[in-house]
Structure 1
Amino acid sequence: MSDLAARLRALPAFPEDLPVLDLETLPEDPTELFAAWLEEAIASGARQPHAMTFQTALPDGTPVGRTLILKDLDEHGFQVSTRSTSRKGRQLAENPRAAMLFFWRESGRQVHVTGEVVALGEDVSQRDWLARPTSDGQPNPEWQVYALQPTEIEFTQARHDRLHTRVAYRREDGRWIRCSDR
């Protein structure tokens, strides 16, 4: 083992008191659990609890990730925004599938969301643009709000023994199915 490997192994992991993911009390709709975990992260004072790694793909399938901010979650899906002409905007136009990975270190929780991405209407996009701190009050025709419509959501609750608790949901025939194959 190299010196770096030994130093990395010795780094502290999670706080002593970790929440427990009770598999017996899960909601039918995983967005309810996501919203509860996000609210807990906000209430805990975690910095940027709405930040996530947003992953798209190059034409050859190579994944590309960057950190974005969740703008909203509603019946349209998990919302982010960017210029339609940006690298990620072009990637979404070519392949409208993406993934999000939220990680709340303070609670040892992460949520992985995958699905199809759709562009929302001009009214939603311009409202978002005008609310940005850098907006000059003028419309931006390149600004676009996208909604990731989840087809799979996986929740992971860390444990000190590294036998983390995981539960996945998959959307089938318009309803959520809890998966035990992960």
Structure 2
Amino acid sequence: MSDLAARLRALPAFPDVMPELDLATLPMDPTELFLTWLEEAIASGTRQPHAMTFQTLLPGGAPVGRTLILKDLDETGFQISTRNTSAKAHQLAEDPRAAMTFFWRESGRQVQVTGVVTALGEDVSQRDWLARPTSDGTPNPDWQVYAVQPERIEFMQARADRNHVYVSYRREDGSWHHAQGR
């Protein structure tokens, strides 16, 4: 083991006290659990609780990720925004599959969302653009809001003993089904 490996292994991973994931009270719709966890992260003062790693696919299928923020969550899905000329917009045009990974270190929680991305209407995109803190009130035709319509959502609640608790939801025939584990 190298010195770096030993130092990395010694770093603290999770807080001493973390919430439990009660498997007996899981909601049927995983977005309910996601919103509960997000609201708890917001209430606890977590810095940028809406930040996530957003992964798209390069030509050839290699994944590429970057940090984005969640703009909204509604019946259209988990929303993000970008310029139509961005690399991620081009990647989504080639292959609309994407993944989001939220990680709230302070509670030892992670949520992974995978699904197909669709571009939302111009009205949604311009409302988002005009609501930005730096907006001068001029519309931006290059701005696009996308929504990830989830097909799979996995929740992980860390445990100090590293026997983390996982719950995976999968959409099948328009309904959500969940199971413990990955």
TM-score category of the 2 structures, normalised to the smaller one: over 0.9
**Where does residue 117 of structure 2 map in the other structure?**
117
Given residue 101 of structure 2, which amino acid in structure 1 is its aligned partner? L
Q: CA deviation at 1:181?
A: 5.8
Q: Does 1:142 align with 2:142?
A: yes
Listed one character per residue, the Cα deviations across residues 116-159 of structure 1 (whole Å, up to 9, x for unaligned) are 00000000000101111222211111100000000000000000
Task: Quote the residue 2:71 is aligned against.
Answer: 71
For structure 2, the 5+ residue unaligned runs are none
Q: Which of 131-140 and 73-82 deviates more?
A: 131-140
Residue 133 of structure 2 corresponds to 133
**TM-score, normalising length from structure 1?**
0.98
C-alpha deviation, 1:42, in angstroms: 0.1
* Counterpart amino acid of residue 110 in structure 1: Q
Amino acid at match of 2:78: F
Q: Which residue of 2 aligns with 1:80?
A: 80
Write the distance in 2 (CA, Å) between the matches of 1:180 and 1:106: 23
Residue 34 (structure 1) aligns with: 34
Paired position in structure 1 for 2:46: 46
Segments of 5+ residues of structure 1 without an aligned counterpart are none
Q: Give the aligned partner of residue 165 of structure 1.
A: 165
Residue 8 of structure 2 corresponds to 8
1:156 alignment partner in structure 2: 156
Give the drift of 1:180: 4.2
Distance in 2, matches of 1:132 and 1:116, equals 25
How many angstroms apart in 1 are the aligned matches of 2:179 and 2:60?
29
Conserved? CA contact 2:68–2:80, under 8 Å:
yes
Distance 1:146 1:130 in 2: 16
Give 1:79's aligned amino acid: Q
- Report percent identity of matched pairs: 78
| TM-score between both structures, scaled by the size of structure 2 | 0.98
Determine the C-alpha separation between the residues in 1 that align with 2:122 and 2:165: 41
1:103 is aligned to 103
Aligned length: 182
Aligned-partner SS, 2:88: helix
Which residue in 2 is equivalent to 1:55?
55
Aligned-residue CA RMSD (Å) = 0.8
Letter matched to residue 165 of structure 2: T
Label 1:58 to 1:177 Cα distance change in 2 as closer, same or farther (>3 A): same
Q: Name the SS of the counterpart of 1:111 in structure 2.
A: strand
The equivalent of 1:25 in structure 2 is: 25
Q: Which amino acid aligns with 1:165?
A: V
Distance in 2 (CA, whole Å) between partners of 1:121 and 1:179 is 35
Q: Structure 2 CA distance, aligned partners of 1:94 and 1:83?
A: 16
Aligned residue for 1:89?
89
